[in-house]
Structure 1
Amino acid sequence: MNKATEALAINVGTALQHKGWMLATAESCTGGGVAQAVTDIAGSSAWFDRGFVTYSNAAKTAMLGVPAALIAQHGAVSEEVAAAMAAGAAGSSSAQVAVSTTGIAGPGGAVPGKPVGTVWFGWSVAGVVQTERVIFDGDRQAVREQAVAHALQGLLRRLA
């Protein structure tokens, strides 16, 4: 993990501890990268509850309660699914805060309107869900690293 991502994870932990809250993650394209970033921080068990890596659509439905019909209608890489993943992670855990990532890291997988690098994020904070779409540049690893950092930055903005 690079120093900037490490600093973000530390700051997220500090903000969560200040509020007495726990974090859960629901990840697809980042493959557990957000959970790894936060659990790389010593003492994170005080503020990190659990992580869900739901790479397949079936896992999103089984583990997070994302309706299969929602995925069929909007696609796994969509605002609706990112929001449902974040809400599902919060609801399936002891966390007050959850973050989700679903996207196309590449090199394949692009579809019209969803180029490689497209990532939808969902943040659930005390029951309020917000979403954001970002299109990152770079190869698969670069997209994933940028998505992890962006997920943490979004948490910090929402916990401030």
Structure 2
Amino acid sequence: MYGINPYAPVNPAMAGVTQQRLANYQSQMPQMPTYQAQQFAPQPPMPLMMKGRTVASLDEVKAAQIDLDGSLTYFPCPADSCIYAKYIDMNGMPVIQNYKLSLEKEPVPKRYADAELVEALQQKVNSLERYVKGETVNANESVDNDANV
């Protein structure tokens, strides 16, 4: 038992027979193809797609079925010139947001004129009125320089 191989043939002549039997057994077994590890090229990430569809009114958005995962679903509405966004909040209630393009321009800040500028403009208007009436020859002539005053 100790130091003896139980699987080794006792008779050296039997060693050749054992090898032959093993070769016959292996030849009867179907040969399996060997597989090699394939290298996969990394593919670019898929572009993100927005979920949604075009609708005709807000009523259609209210009735639309959306995913319950909380992601936004967009509904452009050409009739109302807006985009509706609908999602399910943490309480399981639908939330609809309305995005409308604002065509209003920002108001221009008011600039106030000082008294000197107003007085100069009034003199210029008076000079132009006298020129139109034919009282003076030069329209650019200042009222202060007018001899008729």
TM bucket, shorter chain? under 0.3
Give 1 or 2: higher strand fraction: 1
Instruction: Give the structure, 1 or 2, with the largest relative contact order (CA under 8 Å, sep 6 or more).
Output: 1
Q: Could you tell me the TM-score, scaled by structure 2's length?
A: 0.28
Rg larger in 1 or in 2?
2
